Amino acid sequence: MVTLKKMLSVILLSTLILSCNTNPATDRTSSDTEASSQITLSNHTVISDGHPMNLWEKKSQNSKGAILFIHGRTWSSLPNFDLQVEGENLSLMDAMVTEGYSTYALDLRGYGATPRDSTEWLSPNKAASDILHVVNWIASRNSSKVHLFGYSMGSTSSLLATQKNATDIASLTVFGYWLDLDFKIPESPGDIKLLKQKNTAENAASDFITPGSISQNAIDSYVRMA
């Protein structure tokens, strides 16, 4: 299990270097807990190729930049990027707001509050297109380019989006990047039958395999949000 502090350090390193901001990140304290409780979560509907995409937002006053988080294959944005646990600082969105960044987290098609489309499947190109539509929407509202952060499967979708069009992208951070670029993925047969399987609470909890890396209360909260 990746800790918030490690993930926060990766994002800060990427955004601060690429935006030429040399202020060091500091450890979060009890005052940060109080500050994060004042941060408001809102959501927007962004239309991408005629499909409604749910976008979560936590805004910083006098923001020095905007970050868009893209989740992975299994779970939606909020449990990954805005995990709320009483007495613990586990929300990555809150952490970045306290560092002066406005944060956004996209629910891809079929995840969280974004419905599936008529095909019921999310392809890499479709995900990349949706990301670019949302990046453009955020950039136009903030009058600045967007720092794009992709986690796990979201890292490959974010990379693909950046390769397609980086006009509104200030930086790209890929975290938990799983793809070996030297490996040639074999083409699937045309008659392959795609399987559908419901996620379960047990599956959500199974991601936490490192003893002592996270409290049971946090795991329970993650499962409820997932």
Is 169 a residue whose pLDDT tops 90? yes
pLDDT of 18 reads 39
Q: How confident is the model at residue 185 (pLDDT cuts 50, 70, 90)?
A: confident
The 10s digit of each residue's pLDDT in 58-83 is: 999 989 999 999 999 999 999 999 99
Buried/exposed code over 138-163 (b: 16+ C-beta within 10 A; e: otherwise): bbeebebbbbbbbbbbbbbbbbbbbe
**Sign of torsion over alpha carbons 138, 86, 75, 160:** positive
CA–CA distance, 162 with 172 (Å, rounded to integer):
8
At residue 142, the pLDDT reads 93
| DSSP tag of 108 | -
Are 79 and 9 spatial neighbours (Cβ–Cβ below 8 Å)?
Answer: no
Higher pLDDT, 120 or 128: 128
Alpha carbons 81 and 84: distance in angstroms, whole number: 9
pLDDT above 60 (res 11): no
Which of these, 9, 41, 14, lies nearest to 174 by C-alpha position?
14
pLDDT of amino acid 106: 98
Domains assigned to the chain: 4-191 (3.40.50.1820)
Judged against a pLDDT cut of 70, whether residue 194 lies above it is answered with yes
Q: Provide mean pLDDT across the span 161-190.
A: 93
From the list 136, 140, 122, 123, the residue with the least C-alpha distance to 165 is 136
10 pLDDT above the threshold of 80: no
CB-based burial, 65-74: b 16+ in 10 Å, e otherwise? bbbbbbbbee
**pLDDT number for residue 181:** 84
Reported as a single tens digit per residue, the pLDDT across 20-30 is 333 333 344 54
Span 144-161, pLDDT tens digits = 999 999 999 999 999 999
pLDDT at 6: 52
